[in-house]
């Protein structure tokens, strides 16, 4: 009911300012909370037709639109959009942003069916910037999700030891905890899971820790 009310309020505001970028993005967020992914994709598509967007804003909106297609299990369309974006020669920062955002979808958004595409995108990103700890963390997480624990662990340990950003250290701690759990080292697994919970308090990570290790005492 609250989502419906929020949607009505945004519709009212948009009647007065139909091209307002902020209002349209908030409306897309409300639709996403209601799992109305086709409507999300439509709104973001209309925004991308606006000619006054910066290239950075365009990359952010496009990443969100592609995620909406992935939510609808339209991987073919998502792949096509990524390829088209990369072929239009965006900046390195924009390429890395889009590729890493989409690579995180299997574990941050729970879309495990996207793992093969995420592996491809993370590999592309890491080729563009091979020293990035953030990209190594994403790649390591994907490898662990695929059961390639030893390969993923090498990358994740480097991120765990050298990373400074909370998100990087949180991801590394969680997936190293999963590696430890799978090899039967429960003491290490629980210690790393606790560390992940303390470092990076975001819903997807806390939900995954709870499902794998139980609720915090």
Structural domains of the chain sorted by starting position, each given as residue range(s) with its CATH number in brackets: 1-91 (1.25.40.10), 99-106+121-217 (1.25.40)
Cα 73-111-92 angle, rounded to 5 deg: 90
Rounded average pLDDT over 172-178? 98
Confidence of residue 1 (pLDDT cuts 50, 70, 90): very low
pTM of the predicted model as reported, rounded to 2 decimal places: 0.89
- The pLDDT of residue 162 is 97
At 110-164, the pLDDT tens digits run 999 999 999 999 999 999 999 999 999 999 999 999 999 999 999 999 999 999 9
How many CB atoms lie under 10 A from the CB of residue 2?
8
DSSP letter assigned to residue 111: -
């Amino acid at each position: 009911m609250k989502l419906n009310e929020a949607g009505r309020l945004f519709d009212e505001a948009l009647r007065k300012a139909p091209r307002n970028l902020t209002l349209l993005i908030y409306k897309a967020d409300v639709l996403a909370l209601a799992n109305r992914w086709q409507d999300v994709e439509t709104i973001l598509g209309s925004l991308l037709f606006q000619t006054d967007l910066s290239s950075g804003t365009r990359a952010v909106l496009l990443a969100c639109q592609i995620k909406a297609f992935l939510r609808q299990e339209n991987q073919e369309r998502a792949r096509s959009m990524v390829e088209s974006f990369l072929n239009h020669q965006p900046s390195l920062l924009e390429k890395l942003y889009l590729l890493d955002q989409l690579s995180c979808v299997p574990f941050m958004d729970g879309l495990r069916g996207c793992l093969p595409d995420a592996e491809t995108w993370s590999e592309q990103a890491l080729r563009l910037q091979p020293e990035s700890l953030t990209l190594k963390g994403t790649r390591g997480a994907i490898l662990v999700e695929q059961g390639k624990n030893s390969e993923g662990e090498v990358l994740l340990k480097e991120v765990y030891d050298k990373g400074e950003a909370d998100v990087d250290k949180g991801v590394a701690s969680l997936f190293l905890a999963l590696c430890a759990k799978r090899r039967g080292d429960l003491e290490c697994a629980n210690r790393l899971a606790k560390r992940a919970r303390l470092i990076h308090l975001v819903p997807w990570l806390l939900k995954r820790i709870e499902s794998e290790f139980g609720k915090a005492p």
